[in-house]
Amino acid sequence: MPNHDSHCHCHYELRCRECGRRWGNQPRSICEECFSPLEIIYDYDWIRYVLGEGAIDQRQASRERISRRPANMWRYAELLPLPEQFEPRLPVGFTPLFNAPNLATRLAGNGGAASAAANLYIKNDAVCLPTLSFKDRVVAVALAQAREFGYDTVACSSTGNLANAVAAHAARLGLKAWIFIPADLEPAKILGTQIFGATVVRINGSYDQVNRLCSQIADERHWGFVNVNLRPYYSEGSKTVGFEIAEQLGWRLPDNVVVPMAGGSLITKIKKAFDELTKLGLVDEKPVKFFGAQATGCSPISTAVKTGCTEIDPQKPATIARSLAIGNPADGHYAIKAIKQSGGWSEDVSDPEVVDSIRVLAETEGIFTETAGGVTVGCAGKLYRQDRILPEETTVLCITGNGLKTTDVLAGVYELEKPITPKLAEFESYLRHSVQPVPAGDEAVAVSA
């Protein structure tokens, strides 16, 4: 094993979240003293100095310095745990953030429709490159360290999107990839891993069982498991969603964010991103409410929030939202804490509501999201109806994955009509007899034209 402690001159290092012991930089995710998770801490004075360029108006100088850089997540390099000589090989992130007035009108109901329309935003990681989910961000950071730690093979346990991202990034970086997944994952997510030349190991078991196996393999082999021994580095990549939201809102924080939760890492890292920007003076301090979203069939975090628990009671997942189907979430405890301390809440929606919400987002805003996005939109609707999110508040929904990967859940929703011959008369006849599709969220019977 190389001596990993030789990297302690960095402006970041590992620290235990509970006992505070520092661990330098090495492939390790758990404190040996107290068995708590490790996280990356930074030297913020150094970051403030580097970004501010010694300017008198440090805030303006830092904002301009970042905004001048290429439109990808590496523009926040100082706030990520990257090796000193790191040269990015892939332009990941900086996905669009835009207003969603049509969706807002649907979610907020008549009373608040007009003000919600002006204040609801979507952060669209359904088009994150290269593999169309926010997991490209976490993998980009984890693999930057994989090389530094001397790995030629990287690996992960995955609910689908992580598999795609690890396989694609590994191909680009010339690393070997071993991907461990539950055997019955969506076909598009399996194919979308194999295509990059990765070795895919299918396991008859739940994600939680796959993950446990990977912890054991990680002890045996010198492999960089992005979400096991590289987890503290991996999870820092999620902060870039938060940095981008703030910058794209004009360097200000929203009132609310709605975030889908699997392991519960993303929601805590968006909070960390907002806290860091505030600490560095890049945005004004402001309370932000964090709202979690899960599928009812796998809702350990939202159940804990609703019942007032601070710890996770593990569940056996049964939902079509496979990318969120983690019954024993690694960061569950910290997700609950972030939600509660912010004054937010967590909701969950049934599988039929997930499908309906996928359709609502597509029909209102032209975005085709996967099941996780259906969960987010469905939960956001509930939160508006419960008045936990108010129409006049700036609210960002995190859409984290692409609908082309989970088309299976839409099987049978749309009928294919009989084709017609290319004749005008036949088209006229078609118009007289065709049945118009039922819009999403509309229980009404189809109407004939």
Contacts with Zn ion, residue ranges (CB under 5 A): 16, 19, 31, 33-34, 36
Instruction: Give CA–CA dist 166/156, Å, rounded.
Output: 7
Partner interacting with residue 400 (select from Zn ion, ligand PLP, none; CB below 5-8 Å by kind): ligand PLP
Partner interacting with residue 169 (select from Zn ion, ligand PLP, none; CB below 5-8 Å by kind): none
Rg for the chain (alpha carbons), in Å? 22
- Collect all residues with Cβ–Cβ distance below 8 Å to 238 and sequence separation of at least 6: 134, 137, 138, 265, 266, 269, 270
Compose the 246-265 pattern: x for residues touching ligand PLP by CB under 6 A, - for all others: --------------xxxxxx
Q: Give the residues across from 290 on adjacent strands.
A: 257
Q: How many residues bind ligand PLP (CB under 6 A)?
A: 17
Q: Is 95 in the site for ligand PLP (CB under 6 A)?
A: no
Residue from 25, 62, 119, 161 that binds ligand PLP (CB under 6 A)?
161
Beta carbon of residue 331, minimum distance to Zn ion (angstroms, whole number): 16
Beta carbon of residue 244, minimum distance to ligand PLP (angstroms, whole number): 16
Beta carbon of residue 16, minimum distance to Zn ion (angstroms, whole number): 3
Q: Map residue 40 onto helix, strand or coil.
A: strand
Partner interacting with residue 261 (select from Zn ion, ligand PLP, none; CB below 5-8 Å by kind): ligand PLP
Q: Of 27 and 401, which has the nearer Cβ to Zn ion?
A: 27
Beta carbon of residue 377, minimum distance to ligand PLP (angstroms, whole number): 12
| Token couple for 294 | 């899960």
Partner interacting with residue 262 (select from ligand PLP, Zn ion, none; CB below 5-8 Å by kind): ligand PLP
Instruction: Give CA–CA dist 329/121, Å, rounded.
Output: 27
Q: Is 372 in the site for ligand PLP (CB under 6 A)?
A: yes
Beta carbon of residue 331, minimum distance to ligand PLP (angstroms, whole number): 7
Q: Is 133 in the site for ligand PLP (CB under 6 A)?
A: yes
* CA 124-127-130 angle, 5° bins: 140
Q: Of 116 and 380, which has the nearer Cβ to ligand PLP?
A: 380
- Tell me which H or E stretch contains 348: strand 345-349
Beta carbon of residue 262, minimum distance to ligand PLP (angstroms, whole number): 4
Q: Give the closest residue to 358 by CA, choosing from 413, 396, 318, 302.
A: 413
Q: Is 182 in the site for ligand PLP (CB under 6 A)?
A: no
Partner interacting with residue 395 (select from ligand PLP, Zn ion, none; CB below 5-8 Å by kind): none
Q: Is 323 in the site for ligand PLP (CB under 6 A)?
A: yes
Partner interacting with residue 33 (select from Zn ion, ligand PLP, none; CB below 5-8 Å by kind): Zn ion
Each as own residue / partner, the long-range contacts of residues 40-46 (CB below 8 Å, 24 or more positions apart, any chain) are 40/12, 40/13, 40/14, 40/15, 40/81, 40/232, 40/233, 40/236, 41/12, 41/13, 41/14, 41/15, 42/11, 42/12, 42/79, 42/276, 43/11, 43/12, 44/276, 44/279, 44/280, 46/11
Compose the 388-427 pattern: x for residues touching ligand PLP by CB under 6 A, - for all others: ------------xx--------------------------
Beta carbon of residue 257, minimum distance to ligand PLP (angstroms, whole number): 13
CA distances to 325, 374, 448 from 238, in Å: 19, 20, 47
Partner interacting with residue 73 (select from ligand PLP, Zn ion, none; CB below 5-8 Å by kind): none
Burial of 257 (0-12, 13-18, 19+ CB in 10 A): buried
Residues in the chain: 449
Partner interacting with residue 71 (select from Zn ion, ligand PLP, none; CB below 5-8 Å by kind): none
Q: In what order do the strands lie in the sheet with 153-157?
A: 199-203, 176-182, 153-157, 224-225
Q: Of 62 and 406, which has the nearer Cβ to ligand PLP?
A: 406
Q: Count of CB atoms within 10 A of residue 55's CB?
A: 13
Partner interacting with residue 278 (select from Zn ion, ligand PLP, none; CB below 5-8 Å by kind): none
Backbone φ and ψ for 366, nearest 5 degrees, come out as 75, 30
Instruction: Give CA–CA dist 295/318, Å, rounded.
Output: 9
Q: Of 128 and 144, which has the nearer Cβ to ligand PLP?
A: 128
Residues of this chain that interact with ligand PLP (CB under 6 A) are 133, 135, 161, 238, 260-266, 323-324, 370, 372, 400-401
